[in-house]
Amino acid sequence: MTFDRRTFIAASAATAAAPLLPACASPGTSNAAATDAAPYPAFIGKSTQTLLPRGKAPRIVICGGGWGGLTTAANLRQLAPQAEVVLLDRNPVFFSSPLSNMWLVNMVDGELLTHDYLRVANKLGYKFFQAEVQQIDRDRRIVTTSVGTLDYDWLVLAPGIRYNYESWFGNDRQAADAARTRFPSAYASNSEFLTLKRALHNFKGGELVMNLPPPPQRCPPSPYERACLIAWHFKTNKIKGHITILDHKPSIMPIGQGYKLAFEELYKDFITYVPNAHVQEVDPFNQRIRTAAGDHKFDHAILMAPHKAGDLAWLAGTVSKTSDGWADMDEVTMQIKGDERAYVIGDAIAAVSTLPFRYYPKSAHIANRLGRIVAYQISEKLAGRAPERRLPDNLCYMVVNGTPGQALNVQFDYDFDAQGRVRQVQRDYNERTPALFKDDFRWADFMFEEMFAGIAPPVLPYPAYRA
Ligand SMILES: Cc1cc2nc3c(=O)[nH]c(=O)nc-3n(C[C@H](O)[C@H](O)[C@H](O)COP(=O)(O)OP(=O)(O)OC[C@H]3O[C@@H](n4cnc5c(N)ncnc54)[C@H](O)[C@@H]3O)c2cc1C
């Protein structure tokens, strides 16, 4: 480990101060009790201590170790091996949302979705800390976490989404907590997936309601996939359950025709699709939801509050008055507006175009592509070169049947129009096929190889995998 003079002095001062720390043992401890306290062990993390001594290498701190953050870290190790890369996530392990709908109904094992942060960090040569990021000071370039502070030269935020329960419940935390804990949507937090899975497997029959929030939302086709797979679970296990999909949108989007046929041909007695169901009131205590398309009482529900940029994007001051709850950034480089050393990627980002599609789909595939783009941006800048403008692509497989395994697919390509705006071409594959089902696993394999084995191509575009 290399120390420069300034950090060495700071580190020595911190060590010298350590024996004095019992006086401020923990919040709420009285001074009288604290005098009896044992000396504070140096490695119990405190947000006031330096987490990692500073070496000479430029330091890149990535906040959020989901799809975007892990891809960025893996690609940075390849493109900028001279840099120190630090990845921070609050979770001890990575759990994949893609493929999780199959896991909910026991079509795949949890091991396929779960990955070990420390193993990948050691293997690829970056540092990982399991830590809650609590504060980001972009003026001083300091990240404060639950276990210490880190200064940085470059910052990448990949915080995912938050649920905007405020839009349903105002500041009524009790109602928001009841919705979140009793009827979680399992779209953002790992423990919600477990709660939902348990609820589904304890469900003996009755009415299951799931709502889809207004766009943009995380992975727009995946709630329909989830409805199909839950219906498949009811059908194969002879559970007298019925699913009502309350969709904010006027029709199923994307892959509308493919899903419509799956609902009608495979799950006629199990799924009812209701369009234009704008949520007006949610009552998690009496198990009711009122929408513009009617009122529904439920036995269980998957209640999905509208999505916005993850809390971290707000803590870092990246959400502007005009970015509609998403992180404001340059549409191509992903650089946070007004900050040449900070980037934001993945689901948290704001609109990328003034054309009607406006947002990239909030998908793992896009988060992966933006992770690559930002790793490239930073590595070029570190090398003193001007990065070129690069755009992502998107690809999503959606499973609609378990016996036989069948899936649909949607693809997106991007380029610039004559005015320099990002343009989108969408292709829906509405025919459900076993080949697409197989390709879903192949896609996940490619992604996991890149994120967890560092097998990433050094340049974009990726030799694009196409159905
Ligand atoms: C059911 C379901 C199915 C899906 N299927 C697909 C699919 O088939 N294909 C596809 O492309 N996409 C799919 N997606 C979408 C995909 O999961 C997201 O688009 C993707 O995870 C976005 O990546 P991200 O890096 O932006 O956010 P995330 O992957 O959510 O990562 C954010 C990370 O930040 C961490 N974090 C947040 N705040 C803090 C903090 N304060 N301190 C420390 N850590 C923090 C979180 O713990 C998390 O690990 C699906 C999503 C769901 C829910």
What 3-state class would DSSP assign to 28? Answer: coil
Which residue, among 424, 449, 275, 435, has the nearest Cα to 359 in the 3D structure?
Answer: 424
Domain holding 91: CATH number? 3.50.50.60
Q: What is the pLDDT of residue 44?
A: 84
Amino acid at 62: I
Atom of ligand 1 nearest to the CA of 69: 25
Among 28-37, 203-212, 260-269, name the one with the lowest average pLDDT: 28-37
Please state the rounded mean pLDDT for residues 395-416: 96
Q: Which of 307, 329, 349 is the last residue of a domain?
A: 307
* Å from CA of 346 to ligand 1 middle: 8
Contact 268, 140 (CB under 8 A): no
- Check whether residue 175 and residue 301 sit in a common domain: yes
- 119 in the same domain as 57: yes
Residue 460, pLDDT score: 40
As a whole number of angstroms, the distance between CA 78 and CA 458 comes to 7
φ, ψ for residue 380 (rounded to 5)?
Answer: -65, -40
Is the pLDDT at 294 greater than 90? The verdict is: yes
Mean pLDDT of 104-130: 97
pLDDT for 307: 98
- Which ranges of 154-221 does DSSP label H, i.e. alpha helix? 166-169, 173-182, 190-202
Tokens of 301: 């529900």
Give the number of other Cβ atoms within 10 Å of residue 449's Cβ. 13
Reported as a pLDDT band with limits 50, 70 and 90, residue 455 is: confident
Q: Which residue has the tokens 């899975």?
A: 197
Distance (Å) of CA 47 to CA 8, 40, 50, 110:
19, 14, 8, 33
pLDDT value of position 195: 97
Q: Which atom of ligand 1 is nearest to the CA of 64?
A: 34
Residue to probe by mutation, ligand 1, list 155, 161, 363, 412, most atoms within 8 Å of CB: 363
Instruction: Pick from 47, 91, 93, 97 the residue to mutate for probing ligand 1's pocket: most ligand atoms within 8 Å of its CB.
Output: 97
Domain holding 326, by residue range, is 47-160+310-392
Contact between residue 393 and residue 369 where contact means Cβ atoms under 8 Å apart: yes
Exposed (0-12), middle (13-18) or buried (19+): which is 422, by Cβ within 10 Å?
A: buried
Nearest to 383, CA basis, from 81, 62, 92: 81
Q: What is the Å distance from ligand 1's center to 20 Cα? A: 41
- Does residue 153 register a pLDDT over 90? yes
Q: Is the CB of 98 under 6 A from ligand 1?
A: yes
The protein residue whose alpha carbon is closest to atom 22 in ligand 1 is 364
Domain boundary among 368, 392, 416: 392
Based on the fold, state whether residues 110 and 148 are members of the same structural domain: yes
Task: Report the distance separating Cα 102 and Cα 96, nearest Å.
Answer: 11
Indicate the pLDDT class of residue 11, thresholds 50, 70 and 90: very low
Closest CA to ligand 1's atom 37: 159
* pLDDT of 100 above 60: yes
Please indicate whether residue 347, judged by its CB atom, sits closer than 6 Å to ligand 1: yes
Residue 412 belongs to some domain of the structure: no
Residue 59 tokens read as: 């330091």
Ligand 1 pocket residue status of 218, Cβ below 6 Å: yes
Domain for residue 8, yes or no? yes
Q: Same structural domain for residues 39 and 57?
A: no
Mean pLDDT (whole number) for 375-383:
98
Q: Is the pLDDT of residue 4 over 50?
A: no
- Mean pLDDT throughout 17-42? 53
Query: If you search the block for the tokens 């892990």, which residue do you land on?
Result: 70
Nearest to 314 by CA among 290, 282, 336, 294: 336
Number of domains in the chain: 3
Residue 337 and residue 364 in one domain: yes
Does 77 have pLDDT greater than 90? yes
Q: Are residues 152 and 61 in the same domain?
A: yes
Q: Is the CB of 367 under 6 A from ligand 1?
A: yes
Assess whether 321 and 298 both reside in one domain. no
pLDDT tens readout for residues 343-359 = 999 999 999 999 999 99
Q: What is the mean pLDDT of residues 368-396?
A: 96
Residue 456 pLDDT class (50, 70, 90 cuts): low
Length of the chain in residues, anyone?
A: 467
Return the pLDDT at 32.
46
Lookup: tokens for 268 = 């006629």
The residue whose C-alpha atom lies closest to atom 44 belonging to ligand 1 is: 89
Q: In terms of domains, do 288 and 169 share one? A: yes
Give a yes or no: residue 272 inside a domain: yes
In a domain, 423, yes or no: no
Q: Is 409 in the pocket of ligand 1 (CB under 6 A)?
A: no
Predicted local distance difference test score (pLDDT) of residue 464: 43
Q: Are residues 196 and 283 in the same domain?
A: yes
In a domain, 431, yes or no: no
DSSP letter, residue 450: I
Distances (CA, A) of 261 to 49, 102, 197: 58, 20, 26
Instruction: Answer whether residue 385 shows pLDDT above 90.
Output: yes
- Cα–Cα distance between 221 and 397 in angstroms, integer? 9
Asked if residue 18 has pLDDT above 70, the reply is no
pTM: 0.92
Residue nearest to atom 48 of ligand 1 (CA): 66
Q: Report how far residue 74's alpha carbon sits from residue 85's, in angstroms, rounded to the nearest whole number.
A: 9
| H helix and E strand count, the chain | 13, 22
**What pLDDT is stored for residue 466 in this prediction?**
45
**In this structure, which amino acid lies at residue 139?**
D
User: Are residues 322 and 289 located together in one domain of the fold?
Assistant: no
pLDDT of residue 160: 98
The pLDDT score that the predictor gives to residue 92 is 95
Share of the chain above pLDDT 90, in %: 86
> Do residue 251 and residue 331 come from a single domain?
no
Average of per-residue pLDDT values in the chain: 91
Q: Average pLDDT in the 326-340 region? A: 97
> Does the pLDDT at position 142 exceed 80?
yes
Report the pLDDT value the prediction gives residue 457, as an integer from 0 to 100: 53
Domain end among 259, 280, 307: 307
The answer on 65 and 5 residing in a single domain is no
Residue 457 is assigned to a structural domain of this protein: no
Region 263-280 average pLDDT: 98
Ligand 1 close to Cβ of residue 439 (< 6 A): no
Q: Which pLDDT score is estimated for 33? A: 52
- Is 156 inside a domain boundary? yes
Give nearest CA residue, ligand 1 atom 17. Answer: 97
- pLDDT of residue 13 exceeding 60, the answer is no
Report whether residue 216 contacts ligand 1, using a CB cutoff of 6 Å.
no
User: How close is the Cα of 265 to the center of ligand 1, in Å?
Assistant: 32
Q: Is the CB of residue 339 less than 8 Å from the CB of residue 313? A: no
Give 318-323 contacts, CB < 8 A, sequence gap 24+.
Answer: 318/157, 318/342, 318/344, 323/350, 323/351
Residues 377/345, Cβ–Cβ less than 8 Å: no
Is the C-beta atom of 158 inside 6 A of ligand 1?
Answer: yes
Q: Using CA positions, which residue lies closest to atom 38 of ligand 1? A: 159
Considering the domain boundaries, does residue 29 fall inside one? yes
**Token representation of residue 116:** 């070990």
For the stretch 237-253, pLDDT in tens is: 999 999 999 999 999 99
Q: Whose CA is nearest to atom 4 of ligand 1?
A: 98
